[in-house]
Amino acid sequence: MKNRIRFLCLLLCAALLLPCAGVSAQDAAYHFEADFSQESLGEVIERYLDSLSINKNSIAIGWCDIMSGEEWYLNGDTFMEGASTYKLPLAMVYADRIAAGEITANDKVAHYVLRKALEVMIIDSNNAVGEKLRDNLSRNYAEYRAMLVPNSGLSEEELPEIFFRFNQFSPRFMIGTLRTLWENEERYEMILDFLKQARPDDYFSEYRGDCEVAHKYGSDEGYVCDSGIIYAPRPFLLTVMTYSVLDAKRVLGEIARIAMDYAEYLTETEGPMPEKEPPEESAEPIDPSLTLPAMGADGVREIRSADELRAIVLDPAGQYRLAADIDLAGVDWKPIPFSGTLDGAGHTIYNLTLRRLGDETVECRDGNNKPRDAQFAGLFSVAREAAIRDLRLRGVHAELESADSCFVAALAGYAYDLTAENVGVEGRLWLYGRGEILGVGGLIGFGSGWFTDCSTDVELFFEDCNAGIHCEQFLGGLAASGKFSAERCSVNIRGWASVNGFVHTGGMVGMYCGYGLVRERMMSVTDCTVKGTISFFENNFTRRAYCRGFAGEQVDLVINLRNDVSGFKRDERFRYDVVLSPEGCDEPDYVETVVEPDCTSWGWTEHVCEGCGYSWIDSYTPPRHTPGEWETVREAAPGEEGEAVLRCAVCGEELERTAIPALELPPPAPESLTLDAQVLYMKRGASETLTASLLPETAAPCALVWSSSDETVAAVSADGTVTAVGKGEAIITCASEDGTLSAACAVTVSYTFRQRLSELFGGAKGA
């Protein structure tokens, strides 16, 4: 019995000592306390390889000091199988397409959500997903490989034909690709994030865990490789490719440690890598074509169009009133700050799409009162001491991704002392976040205010895309996080939150807390209703899993009276490898149905998945009537306008009314007749024309009759032309045909001297 116990004790001691012995043997394998003032990096690495009797034809290495650009290669142009390292340049091709706007990280690619596919391909090194993504680009191997070439800095002429046939890479190719990755951090931010999470204590980082490594490794039938960026004080690029090398992973780790020692030596002798200067923040210039509508006598500007709504940015503290429903379909809406008043006047802003954050940055705080600078998206990015009433937001669709802290909501991403009265929201708001504090709210994101008779009917979605940060996440039907008073408000929420940090989800508010807002002020929530469901998981060992009908977590006191949250359901899940989503299908197939508006109801386009039945609505159109025929309701009369009305052919509602021009009055009868001369003195044989005028001038014309009292003295024609015939006097009369009006002209005819002589001496008459 004693022998058996002794034997068991020996076994136990051996088991306890074995790991320690392994570590010691592992550490003892590295004997290269090199003097880099006497040896180059390449000489030290080659001496290390010689010490292990490694055939140098079975290993290829590339190294580049990012600061100086110095490079060193061993078999730099030798192409070897890269195993899973091909997933790095492949992921970069997809990131290029996202940057070019050809696709988004949330698109379905090869039956996967692209963001999730890239994540599992890199972090989990999932081969099936990698092959699907590769085949999605091209099943022609040469064509697919050609897509990888531009990021390598090499030309196709520099690459052997074998590169296009097999999974072949060279150190020079991979170093060029890593250099592109380093120089374009913003474009490849998502890829770098995944690379940093991939095997953080293995391959290159096995022996030096004090430096962050962004790398992609691979092993396949004797090939063991790794390529990545090592973030030493003086960062460098490293790629090592091996075939049939004994204990290859250890060799990769020790080569990386030698390179890290060399980086420390360069730091001591030449200095560390200068920190990258952050790009200058340049606010997007205001569109010079924007102009504010004219201000009315009451100091209020009336808004009738999308451009006039955008023009609020020119005077954020102004007073505004909607004079029409505003359609924002197709408008690239830039969230703007607001500190004025907006009277919706019962109108609707519809089809608002949010795909970017506003410029403003404000400090927000979590439940531990930790401050974080955040940015915001909403109709307004930041609303400070603003007042908004009688407004409906319909068809709001937010789909944003951010590496920084941010809050997204329909009305305002951040609110401070906001007064909202009779404001309604309908929409879908989705956030893919990698920041430290993140939130999605129905009405507001983070903030404080007074809300009366407000309503939200919203679908809120959040995906935590950086498991390493342990973010503080907030989601709520009225607000993501904040402190407020609410009266007679209603919430209908459908929420999904996949969180690797700390969950704060609530039917009305994710966290009720006034840190940084109005903590000292007592608020009340009365006569409000909440219904709906929030499905979530919290993949965190120190679980909080806050989710309740009113507030997920309540930090501050609030007076709760007559509120009904009985229709709210908490739905916690415990499978963390599946992102929670309203879509129940791996491959949703949507059918679109257009619902036309009628006289009183809005129209929209409904998208229904034939597989799981999930549906959503967008492309709203306002109610509209069907015009019928114009109807005369009062006939026009002489001198009096008539009236016509246009009614809806469906419901009969009056749509428009217009005047019918009055008929013309008949001209008045003439009241008097005048001639332009009452006396004429003429010589025999002369002619003059009299002009007759009827009064008033607007009088109807009538036929005139001309006559002479003595035609041997003066004759008159029908047009009033008087001809002197002989000596004497005559009366020329112009009269209306009916004889009621007349005018006369006295005509005296005399002889000329010659005519008189002729008459005296018997000359021919008229001579």
Nearest to 286 by CA among 261, 311, 255, 323: 311
How many percent of the chain have pLDDT more than 70?
Answer: 93
| Three-state SS annotation for 598-665 | CCCCCEEEEEEECCCCCEEEEEEECCCCCEEEEEEEECCEECECEEEEEEECCCCCEEEEEEECCECC
In a domain, 368, yes or no: yes
**89 and 216 share one domain:** yes
More confident residue, 340 or 3: 340
Q: What residues pair up with 475 in beta bridges, in sequence order? A: 440, 505
Residue 8 has pLDDT above 60, yes or no: no
d(CA 264, CA 210): 12
Residue 199 belongs to domain with CATH number:
3.40.710.10
Q: What average pLDDT does range 262-279 have in this prediction? A: 80
Q: What residues pair up with 742 in beta bridges, in sequence order? A: 735
Residue 314 has pLDDT above 70, yes or no: yes
d(CA 410, CA 380): 8
Task: Provide the 10 A C-beta neighbour count for residue 392.
Answer: 17
**348 and 473 share one domain:** yes
Q: Counting runs of H as helices and runs of E as strands, what totals does the chain give?
A: 12, 51
**451 and 533 share one domain:** yes
Residue 15: per-residue pLDDT: 38
Structure tokens at 664: 């013309």
**533 and 607 share one domain:** no
Query: 375-397 pLDDT, tens per residue?
Result: 999 999 999 999 999 999 999 99
In a domain, 643, yes or no: yes
In a domain, 287, yes or no: no
In a domain, 24, yes or no: no
Q: What residues pair up with 125 in beta bridges, in sequence order? A: none
The count of structural domains within the chain is: 5
d(CA 652, CA 632): 15
Per-residue pLDDT band for 654 (boundaries 50, 70, 90) equals very high
Q: What average pLDDT does range 15-35 have in this prediction? A: 45
| Cβ pair 231, 213 in contact under 8 A | yes
d(CA 34, CA 615): 65
d(CA 765, CA 767): 6
In a domain, 666, yes or no: no
Query: 236-268 pLDDT, tens per residue?
Result: 999 999 999 999 999 999 999 999 999 999 999
Q: What average pLDDT does range 705-734 have in this prediction? A: 93
Q: Which of 157-161, 306-310, 695-699 has the lowest mean pLDDT?
A: 157-161
Tokens 């940093």 -> residue: 196
Q: What average pLDDT does range 310-339 have in this prediction? A: 96
More confident residue, 610 or 10: 610
- Residue 410 phi, psi (nearest 5): -75, -50
Q: Which of 68-72, 141-145, 454-458 has the lowest mean pLDDT?
A: 141-145
Residue 539 has pLDDT above 80, yes or no: yes
**256 and 340 share one domain:** no
Tokens 């090398």 -> residue: 245
Query: 434-474 pLDDT, tens per residue?
Result: 899 999 999 999 999 999 999 999 999 999 988 778 899 99
Task: Provide the 10 A C-beta neighbour count for residue 487.
Answer: 16
Tokens 């359609």 -> residue: 327
Q: What average pLDDT does range 464-492 have in this prediction? A: 93
Q: What average pLDDT does range 116-131 have in this prediction? A: 91
**573 and 710 share one domain:** no
Q: What average pLDDT does range 87-116 have in this prediction? A: 87
In a domain, 290, yes or no: no
d(CA 227, CA 231): 13
d(CA 344, CA 423): 9
Residue 3: per-residue pLDDT: 43
d(CA 610, CA 629): 42
Residue 165: per-residue pLDDT: 67
For CA atoms 121, 125, 128, 133, the dihedral sign is positive
168 Cβ neighbours under 8 A, 6+ residues apart: 79, 80, 81, 82, 162
Per-residue pLDDT band for 31 (boundaries 50, 70, 90) equals low
Per-residue pLDDT band for 585 (boundaries 50, 70, 90) equals confident
Between CA 14 and CA 26, with CA 20 as vertex, the angle to 5 degrees is 125
Residue 714 belongs to domain with CATH number:
2.60.40.1080
Tell me the chain's radius of gyration from C-alpha atoms: 46
**383 and 420 share one domain:** yes
| Cβ pair 303, 320 in contact under 8 A | yes
Per-residue pLDDT band for 520 (boundaries 50, 70, 90) equals low
Q: Which of 155-159, 644-648, 690-694 has the lowest mean pLDDT?
A: 155-159
Q: What residues pair up with 631 in beta bridges, in sequence order? A: 645
Residue 280: per-residue pLDDT: 58
**Which run of H or of E encompasses 145?**
helix 141-148
Residue 664: per-residue pLDDT: 86
d(CA 24, CA 437): 42
| Cβ pair 665, 735 in contact under 8 A | no
Model's pTM, two decimal places? Answer: 0.60
Residue 282: per-residue pLDDT: 56
**522 and 638 share one domain:** no
Task: Provide the 10 A C-beta neighbour count for residue 724.
Answer: 24
**189 and 164 share one domain:** yes
Q: How far is CA 656 from CA 326, 346, 599, in A?
A: 21, 21, 15
| Cβ pair 636, 661 in contact under 8 A | yes
Tokens 């006396």 -> residue: 679
Q: How far is CA 334 from CA 81, 217, 309, 337, 355, in A?
A: 47, 41, 11, 10, 8
Residue 221 has pLDDT above 60, yes or no: yes
**549 and 678 share one domain:** no
d(CA 437, CA 370): 10
How far is C-alpha 101 from the geometric centre of its chain's CA atoms?
13
Could you list the residue range(s) of the whole structural domain that residue 609 is in?
A: 592-621
- Residue 332 phi, psi (nearest 5): -80, 85
Residue 366 has pLDDT above 80, yes or no: yes
Average pLDDT, the chain: 89
161 Cβ neighbours under 8 A, 6+ residues apart: none
d(CA 46, CA 74): 9
Tokens 């015009």 -> residue: 627
**453 and 310 share one domain:** yes
In a domain, 21, yes or no: no
Amino acid letter, 721: T
For CA atoms 231, 234, 239, 244, the dihedral sign is negative
Nearest to 537 by CA among 504, 498, 502, 501: 498
In a domain, 15, yes or no: no
**376 and 462 share one domain:** yes
Q: How far is CA 123 from CA 120, 254, 417, 655, 758, in A?
A: 5, 22, 44, 62, 138
**What's the DSSP call for residue 720?**
S
Full DSSP string of 177-196 = HHHHHHHTTTTTHHHHHHHH
